[in-house]
Amino acid sequence: MQAIAQNWPLGILIVSVIIFLETGLVLLPFLPGDSLLFATGSFLGLSHLSPVVPFAMVCLAAILGDQLNFRLGASGIGNYILRKDWIKPAVLRKTHDFYDQYGAITIVIGRFIPVVRTIAPFVAGLTRMQPQRFTLLNALGGTAWTGILLFSGYWLCHINWIKNHFSLLSLSVVIVSVLPVILHLLTQFKKQVF
């Protein structure tokens, strides 16, 4: 975040690259997208910089990242995974059916859930979701995700309590983002054990 404070164009470029990598490469779901967007918005607000250009940059990075991830799933990489039977045909059929029924929600709302936002576009490509449909949903989800988090940080940073507890708030954003995944995993674990 020091890069943003000292040289905001370079800082926003670095943030955009991180967002692109998190959303574009299925192997990097551990990158801190939610907290990074909120913190970026806060730094912009505290520095009295306009959030418009940074929003456009990170939004474009998020959308392009998901497009790359979708293309990887639909490409030879996805075909290689299928040929190697790393995903059982029955699981792939269930996933395809799931995407037919809940694909829109998964692509748009999944943006707000770490790991899901990285894996969902790859699986959408793997299950051959219609590219035009994916692109529209990707644009909606990417715009909502980056906009809500970046502008929340931008507007909320002026509240004294938030200024004084910024680290705690950033940690809370990460916890709230990861909580649905943890709850789902615990539910699945209970079903298997009991």
Residues 126-182: pLDDT tens digits? 888 899 999 999 999 999 999 999 998 899 887 887 777 766 766 676 666 566 667
Tell me the backbone φ, ψ of residue 130, rounded to 5 degrees: -60, 125
Quick check: 147 and 59 in contact, CB under 8 A? yes
Using CB atoms within 10 Å of the CB of residue 2, give its burial: 0 to 12 exposed, 13 to 18 middle, 19+ buried: exposed
Q: Tokens 């507007």, residue? A: 155
Query: What angle do helix axes 76-83 and 116-126 make, rounded to 10 degrees?
Result: 80
**137 residue type, one letter:** L
pLDDT at 20: 93
Q: How far apart are CA 194 and CA 180, in angstroms?
A: 21
Secondary structure class of 36 (helix, strand, coil): helix
Count of domains for the chain:
1
- What's the pTM? 0.76
Q: What is the average pLDDT score of the chain?
A: 81
- Identify which of 94, 101, 171 has the alpha carbon closest to the alpha carbon of residue 126: 94
Give the total residue count for the chain. Answer: 194
Q: How far apart are CA 44 and CA 90, in angstroms?
A: 48
Residue 88 in tokens: 């059982």
* Element of type H or E holding 103: helix 89-109
pLDDT at 124 > cutoff 80: yes
Q: How far apart are the first and last CA of the chain?
A: 45
Query: What angle do helix axes 52-74 and 116-126 make, rounded to 10 degrees?
Result: 40
Interval 19-76: pLDDT, tens? 998 888 877 666 778 888 988 898 888 888 899 999 999 999 999 999 999 999 888 8
Q: How far apart are CA 38 and CA 148, in angstroms?
A: 9
C-beta atoms surrounding 42 within 10 Å: 25
Mean pLDDT of 90-104: 71
Tell me which residue range forms the domain holding 120. Answer: 2-193
